[in-house]
Amino acid sequence: MTLSRKAKEAIKVALAMTIAYGIALSMDWDRPNWAGLAVAFVSLATIGQSINKAALRMFGTLVAMVVALTLIALFAQERWLFILVLSAYAGFCCYMISGGKHDYFWQVAAFVTVIICMDAGPDPINAFNTATLRAQETGLGILVYSLVAIFLWPSSSRAGFNAAATDLASIQRQLYQAYLGLMSGQGGEQEARRLAAQQAQAKTRFDQLLDAAETDSQEVWESRRQWRRYQRQAMELMQTMARWRESFAEVQTLDLQRMLPGIEAFGAELDGRMVQIGNMLAGTAPGQVPLSVDLSLDNNAVGNLSHFQLAALVVTRANMLHMDQLTRSLFEGVSELSGFGTASAPTEAPHAPAAVFLPDLDRLANVVRYMAIFWMAWLALIYVNDIPGGAGLVSFAGGLGIAVASLPQVPVSKLFKPVATSVLFAAVLYIFVMPQLSSFAGLGLLIFAVTFVIGYLYADPQQMIGRAAGLATFVVIASISNEQSYNFLSVANTAMTFILLLLILVITAYIPVSPRPERVFLRLLGRYFRSSEYLISAMRWYPAHAATRLERWKEAFHEREVATLPSKLGNWLPHLDTRVLSGATPEQAQALVTSLQSLTYRMQLLLDERDIPQAQFLVQELLEEFRAWRLGVQGFFQRLAEEPVIGGQDMLRTRLDGLVVHLESRIKDTLNKAPEGQLSNREAENFYRLLGAYRGVSEALVEYGANAAGIDWTPWREERFA
């Protein structure tokens, strides 16, 4: 009989759980459930992913052990100071969780510290024993599952990683083709957006599997520097194509084949390179090496273009030349990785200068909510006599609370059903089945069966949280030990603890702000436009004084806000209930976020181009026109920070076009008056790029206005009961 993958993975988890319990009980260790929890939380789809998560859990546990013992030693007689420092440390870990790197390490480092501190109490001997026991039980669970995963139906990440790399290359090539069609006025905008979303998903999957493949594949480990270089270059290609896309509105009406005679051959060459990159990743040798294709401007053909059209054309050509360099480098790197090219000396990524600390307001909000959860549980323990769970309530709040606070998109109500089902299932086993067992043979069979059923029913990757929660609830309620005793009050006490914990989570759900997705969406929109308004207001040619350190810090903060808020808005999109928010479809909301991402790219381009040296006589002649544009756009951003839509699309376009048309006419007059030889080709190109950036922001703002005007925003502000 051939077993399915679901059955194999469930058997591995069940076997590891049973062996971990067997070893812990045979060694007469207290708290064998900690070994079971380690198995429950580190079991993932492949060896590499499991070992990576296991390593993060082990390192997090060791750090928590040191921190907990240090806090107990320093504040053994200062209860309030002790809990204040403990909560501050856990809050710091909560802030680091959303940083995008080693999030599970920070989560474990927080909640294990809370567990050790709450279980140990002020007794230093008990504290040390508790900490070391937690570390050895966690290490046991990790070791057992790792050995089982390695020797029983090992599932390597290599095949999935190769597929992810090939898929990413294929999608980037399809997106490139779609953008080529859009640039020439052909192709569909919806198809391009769909491929752009697929590219982001494929890139995320590639990043995840690269981490796993480095662990469980010797070949990937030996080539890790080359793969990391490929990862950076694929990301840079992704960003460059996005910026390339932003100039299409201005060049679609131009005769590109006449103005860029080599564009057709150039486009075909880049497409051919992308095809061969995908083929090499799939194991096929390349047919030819990259060729050089000229993409020079025809000066005679571009002589009659307006300055903004020429600016867009120059920017488009620059992005295509950058893609030429990237695809050539990607071709050479993949050729080396696939064994079809000669090895080259590995190049390290340039070290970025150390950045100043820029607080993330959303991560700070997560910390505030976690602090509220933690302190409410602690105060309940102090001031409510005989509260169910005792110190365990604070331990549970430290563990589940940090997970809930770090995922504000998931409502607390989503936890009711899985928690209730898991508690009921575990209680039935504890009350009616476990008292009938008289040896580890029967107990081991029960552990295996329960773990197998939960692992099989929750085998899909998107169900990993449900599987971990089910296994953890069974482990906690079963409370398996060598000196086993059964008491209904124990089950009832645990159930009441979960009820109190869920009540705390519900009470703190609106701390510090409303978690309703539509309210969060409006709040993030307001922040986006306030930051945009600040950046526009700071773009002065001749500021009254040199920027202070605080002003530079504020500008960096708002730049980061504008760069990151569109992706945060995208994270909330799946949680918007468009059935309640009448007048807004998922497609409209997605189009709105896409237009904000477009505006972000245009703003970043404008900020980059603004720092390029410009011809002084042009700046001085056009200072008032640039100031009028800046003040006009700044006013729009101020109004959008209060309301997501202002007037209609036609009004917005008319006013912005008026600013741009006046600016363009003044540019023509100024350039016509420029003395011969005063404006070099380089200065002209820099100025054209700057003009294109100004025009790009105006066009992106109009596009946002069109998408926002199609949404009825009234239901988004209405009070309602979920």
Cα separation values, 365 from 98, 106, 510, 660, Å:
11, 17, 11, 40
Q: What's 76's DSSP letter? A: T
Residue 658 amino acid letter: G
Let me know: does 631 contact 656? Beta carbons within 8 Å: no
Question: Tens of pLDDT along 400-445?
Answer: 899 889 889 888 887 888 788 888 988 999 999 999 988 899 999 9
Check if the beta carbon of residue 305 is closer than 8 Å to that of residue 313.
yes
- Nearest residue to 172 via CA among 202, 212, 145: 202
CA contacts within 13 A on the Cβ side of 71: 27
Q: Under 8 Å CB-to-CB from 226, ≥6 apart: which residues?
A: 333, 336, 337, 346
**Tokens found for residue 408:** 């504000």
Nearest to 445 by CA among 9, 18, 10: 18
Q: Residue 281 CA to chain centroid, in angstroms? A: 26
pLDDT score, position 209: 83
What DSSP string describes 404-429?
HHH-TTS-GGGGHHHHHHHHHHHHHI
The Cα 595–Cα 690 span in angstroms is: 21
Distance CA 717, CA 719 (A): 7
Residue 15, Cβ neighbours under 10 Å: how many? 21
DSSP state, residue 30: S
Determine how many CB atoms are found less than 10 A away from the CB of residue 681.
7
Distance (Å, whole) CA 225 – CA 440:
49
- Alpha-carbon distance of 365 to 363, in angstroms, equals 5
Cβ-in-10-Å burial (0-12, 13-18, 19+) of 481 comes to: middle
pLDDT of residue 346: 46
Position 146 scores a pLDDT of 84
Angstrom distances, CA of residue 85 to CA of 66, 71, 74, 114, 123: 14, 8, 10, 11, 18
Largest CA distance in the chain: 101
Neighbours of 261 (CB within 10 A): 16
DSSP state letter for 354: P
**What is the C-alpha separation between 710 and 144, in angstroms, rounded?**
57
Q: Which of left, alpha, beta for 341 (phi over 0: left; psi -120 to 50: alpha)?
A: beta
Nearest in space to 43 (alpha carbons), one of 18, 21, 17, 64: 17
Give the pair of three-digit tokens for residue 380: 């309940």
Whole-prediction pTM: 0.82
CB 259 within 8 Å of CB 297: yes
Instruction: State how far the Cα of 440 lies from the Cα of 21, in Å rounded to an integer.
Output: 10
| Contact (CB, 8 A) for 690 and 609 | yes
> What pLDDT is attached to residue 199?
87
Angle 5-26/440-457 helices, nearest 10 degrees?
A: 150
CA angle 479-482-488, nearest 5°?
40
Tokens for 663, please give them: 């600016």
- The token duo for 477 is 């309620």
Tokens for 367? 């910390």
- Look at the block and give the residue holding tokens 């076997």: 15
**Residue from 366, 660, 690 nearest 509 by CA:** 366
Q: Give the pair of three-digit tokens for residue 110.
A: 């927080």
CA atoms of 250 and 558, how far apart (whole Å) = 28
Angle between helix axes 464-478 and 440-457 (nearest 10 degrees) is: 160
484 alpha carbon, distance to own chain's centre: 44
Q: What's the helix, strand, coil split of the chain in %, to 5?
A: 75, 0, 25
Q: What is the mean pLDDT of each run of 10 residues along the chain (722 residues)?
A: 82 93 92 88 68 84 92 86 95 87 87 88 74 90 87 78 92 93 81 83 84 73 87 90 78 87 92 93 86 88 75 84 93 88 50 68 95 96 91 90 88 82 88 90 93 85 71 86 86 91 93 91 95 90 73 92 91 84 82 86 83 73 81 90 78 73 71 64 70 80 86 84 58
Q: Residues 251-309: pLDDT tens digits? A: 888 888 899 999 999 999 999 999 999 999 988 888 888 888 889 988 888 877 766 67
CA angle 422, 427, 433 (to 5 degrees): 120
Instruction: List, as one string, the DSSP characters of 262-280.
Output: THHHHHHHHHHHHHHHHHH
Please report which residue ranges of 508-548 form alpha helices under DSSP H. Answer: 517-537
What are the structure tokens assigned to 234, written together?
């694929």
Nearest alpha-carbon partner for 313 in 256, 263, 238: 256
- In the structure encoding, which two tokens stand for residue 543, read together? 């500021």
How far apart are the two ends of the chain, measured CA to CA in Å? 49
